[in-house]
Structure 1
């Protein structure tokens, strides 16, 4: 029998046909444990290795606790106790990562100062306003006594007068 594509070829005798060559010689895979050679480049250009990274950490490196520190800073003007707790947590997270966190530190300082100012104002309110209100109540009790009274167009109920 002759090959229909190549009629000039002599007939083969019990020899299997060779696989078609696609430009690369067929080599058997290396035996187990032997190093493999890298595949050929197939005509692609070889590029140089990437340059080394610049000095210092990249600009987009996330600092643990930074977002929490910013939230604590904003809250330090409105809800000081929560801001103080969040600021401390954010600062601890940043310190564990070896980073600085100015937002958390500012939140701690601002909320601490505002808490102290709030306590001072509260003490002043109780020291000045409560005795004044008590004095006014005692004056009204001594003048009008227990009961319902209309004073200055306002109905007032006095009870518990001494």
Structure 2
């Protein structure tokens, strides 16, 4: 350890800043930053600490195409399940068919929408039964009404 004329050692961090010298004249990675000095851009190929160099290969993919440590991508809702529920209210027999198709697709692909498909199937079946019962009731009413009319000779 050597001492300068002020009595400070080389290890003293305040030794290099005397009499108003700017403490930020260290060039650092991007060049001098003291007031009045021109900014110098980093040299090509410079990488800050903690970043991989250019051309670094991607990490290996894990399950479902996701990177290790990340959750798998969210599974989408089956479109046929949504259509099953919609058509159960619009045209009930189509809701039944779409509900069956959606449940088969969901079992095969593992998509979301099992509840929608089941609801479309049940609501479609209930509405279809109500429509069939209504048609039978109307036919019975008309048959009874026309049989009550006396035949004209």
TM-score normalised per structure 1: 0.49
Residue 76 of structure 2, aligned match among 62, 83, 92? 62
* Aligned residue in 2 for 1:109: 122
The RMSD of aligned alpha carbons is 2.6
SS in 2 for 1:44: coil
Q: Deviation of residue 135 (structure 1)? A: 2.2
Q: Deviation of residue 72 (structure 1)? A: 1.6
Moved more, 99-108 or 85-94: 99-108
Name the structure with the higher strand share.
Answer: 1
1:127 aligned to 2:140? Answer: yes
* Aligned residue in 2 for 1:35: none
Native 8 Å contact 2:85 2:99 kept in 1: yes
Runs of 4+ in 1 over 4 A off after TM superposition: 48-51
Aligned residues: 95
Larger Rg: 1
Q: Deviation of residue 102 (structure 1)? A: 1.4
* Aligned residue in 1 for 2:51: 47
Task: Give the Cα separation in 1 of the matches to 2:68 and 2:125.
Answer: 48
